[in-house]
Chains A and B, each alone.
Chain A
Amino acid sequence: MPQILVEALAKTYRVAERAPGLAGAVRGLVRRRWREVHALAGVSFSLEAGELLAFIGPNGAGKSTTVKILSGILRPTSGRVEVGGLVPWQDRVRHVARIGVVFGQRSQLWWDLPVIDGFDLLADIYRVEATRYRSRRDELVALLRLEPLLDQPVRQLSLGQRMRAEFAASLLHDPAILFLDEPTIGLDAPSKLAVREFVRRLNREQGVTVLLTTHDMHDVEALAERVIVIGQGRLLADGSVESLRASVLSERRLYIDFAAPAPELAIAGVTVRARSGRSLELAFDPSKIPAPSLIAAIATQHAVEDIHVDEPAIEEVITRFYDLHDAGES
């Protein structure tokens, strides 16, 4: 039995629809028309204990809705969900005691209270036994380097500092599963790296199951062995980052700096993506023309100063993927 089981999950919202302008507003007073929005239209997947899964998809794809249903905040329209054997919305209190949740855009700590007071309160709310709480808190404070922040009110923390405190807050009761909804949003580069490093250690060393949603493809590359892509409420892909890349965009990029202005090149199976002064960026399919032959072909005819092969950036892979599935935000 997997730790998280999701079958044919669907969530439909009713949204009031009104015609524009004053006349429309008046008409809306008398007779309101409703439109149905299918945030999730049949999503199925499962997750074993100790896995780390990233959810990606364009805005409005249904990522946050999924996390909210799994964490017990929302009730689905239909479908089956079991987390650790419990149905989140039916057994809410027992369920939420076993999970931790961080929403990147919200704070669960008390804005006007010092960080440490917020931790103490959460320990009371989750009824964490006093000695266990102290050792868990000290461990998290050390891991997340929170010591100097503990007596500051939350509102005085920078976003990066606050996210570190939020992570500790979500883990004080030692949950088996951690849900992260866009945990790196708005963070600067060092803070992002710190968050990724922490999540990785939590997953590898403490065996915490992690399900995260993100728009940052570097999060996905750095963290997840497994990624689920959803778009318009449907599951589009479920697999490793490599298999996703291979399925969409197997091409490689060749970046060349010539000794002289970049020449015109006409090689079968190779397209020029960009050209500036003495530099060229080429795209090629390694199954048709292997990189060594291509490099040899160019280097024998032209004076080359620098050359390197790369994969398309993960952002590009995902954008291409969304286009292929017509999944972009409508």
Chain B
Amino acid sequence: MTTSTMGEMARPYLAAFRARFQLMLQYRTAALMGFATQCWWGAIRIMVFAAFYGVHAAAAPISLADAVTYVWLGQALLALLPWVADPEIGHAVRTGGVGYDRLRPVDAYGYWYARTLGWMIARAVPRAALMLLAAGIVLPLVGLEAWAWRPPSGLEAALLFVPAYVLMTALGAAVLMLANVIVAASLNERGVNAILTPLVIVFSGSLLPLDFFPDALRPFLHVQPFAGLVDIPFRIYFADLKGAAALQGLALQAGWTFVLVAFGRLAMERMMRRLEMQGG
């Protein structure tokens, strides 16, 4: 297949992504408020870590400086975490807009996936940029270096973080697509979000690095799908996973993305079949 026909194949999905991205970027106030909230939470979480390290520094699996960076990185990329279903899907189902989606000559899963991806990334970009500016540049400049966001641990870590970051986004969108399908089937996002939010926040390692959990749980925690959202990419950032271990981590992220996309496609097909039977 030539590049131009591939471009032509991808054209509707890129358009769907672009439309959503462009629209979400308009919400400057939301981005600023999100940034403020994330600064606030980040500061609180860092104080909790500081208190813990003051008492039990020897028991901690990572250094305080790494824990601080872990918090800032997590806060910056919070919008990439699939912890709430895409509100546009719930809206489209309630208003019957899903019907129009069925009128488009595109793969239904790919079309939604592209839109959800656009939504995630457009929310993440301004928040991450502001967080980098505040925690990575302003904090060291004002002499609070100990509390600042530090760069990746070495060149290899930085280079490996790029694919890890891409995969965490792809995996996050795949998780969201499952949530979206359940929202579409149940016509309501509340139930889905009530389960999804704690599940993702805890099992991704966003709330607390997974290495802080009891030893017995860790073999399981490190391989479950949500680990690919925070735990794996962040450990690559800190060079805790390097060489073969880092590649294994990337493979795990890719594998889970593949499985969840396949599962999401099946679920979506069934849901669409039901919509076609019952009316939109």
Binding site for B on A (CB under 8 A): 13-14, 65, 68, 71-75, 89, 92-94, 96-97, 99, 101, 103, 106, 108, 110, 112-113, 117, 120-121, 124-127
Evaluate contact between B99 and A68: CB separation under 8 angstroms: yes
By a CB distance below 8 angstroms, the chain B residues around A73 are: 99, 102-103, 276, 280
A-B interface contact total, Cβ < 8 Å: 77
Evaluate contact between B23 and A93: CB separation under 8 angstroms: no
Q: Select B276's contact among A74, A120, A126, beta carbons within 8 Å.
A: A74
Evaluate contact between A108 and B26: CB separation under 8 angstroms: no
Known: A73-B99, A110-B19. A96 touches B276 (CB 8 A): no
Evaluate contact between B106 and A125: CB separation under 8 angstroms: yes
Chain A, interface SS category: mixed
Question: Which residue in chain B gives the minimum CB-CB distance to A64?
Answer: B279
Interface size of B as a range: 20 to 34
* Least CB distance, A51 to chain B, in whole angstroms: 21
Evaluate contact between B102 and A125: CB separation under 8 angstroms: no
Q: How far is the CA of A124 from the CA of B23 in the complex (A)?
A: 17
Judge whether B96 is part of the interface by a CB distance below 8 angstroms: yes
Evaluate contact between B103 and A124: CB separation under 8 angstroms: no
Q: How far is the CA of A64 from the CA of B143 in the complex (A)?
A: 68
Binding site for A on B (CB under 8 A): 8, 11-12, 14-16, 18-19, 22-23, 26, 95-97, 99-100, 102-107, 273, 276-280
Q: Select A110's contact among B23, B273, B276, B279, beta carbons within 8 Å.
A: B23
Evaluate contact between B26 and A68: CB separation under 8 angstroms: no
By a CB distance below 8 angstroms, the chain A residues around B278 are: 13-14
By a CB distance below 8 angstroms, the chain A residues around B14 are: 124
Q: How far is the CA of A68 from the CA of B106 in the complex (A)?
A: 18
Q: Select A112's contact among B23, B99, B273, beta carbons within 8 Å.
A: B23
Evaluate contact between A108 and B100: CB separation under 8 angstroms: yes
Evaluate contact between A124 and B99: CB separation under 8 angstroms: no
Q: How far is the CA of A99 from the CA of B104 in the complex (A)?
A: 10
Q: How far is the CA of A181 from the CA of B280 in the complex (A)?
A: 15
Q: How far is the CA of A124 from the CA of B273 in the complex (A)?
A: 26
Evaluate contact between B103 and A127: CB separation under 8 angstroms: no
Question: Which residue in chain B gives the minimum CB-CB distance to A95?
Answer: B105
Evaluate contact between A125 and B104: CB separation under 8 angstroms: yes
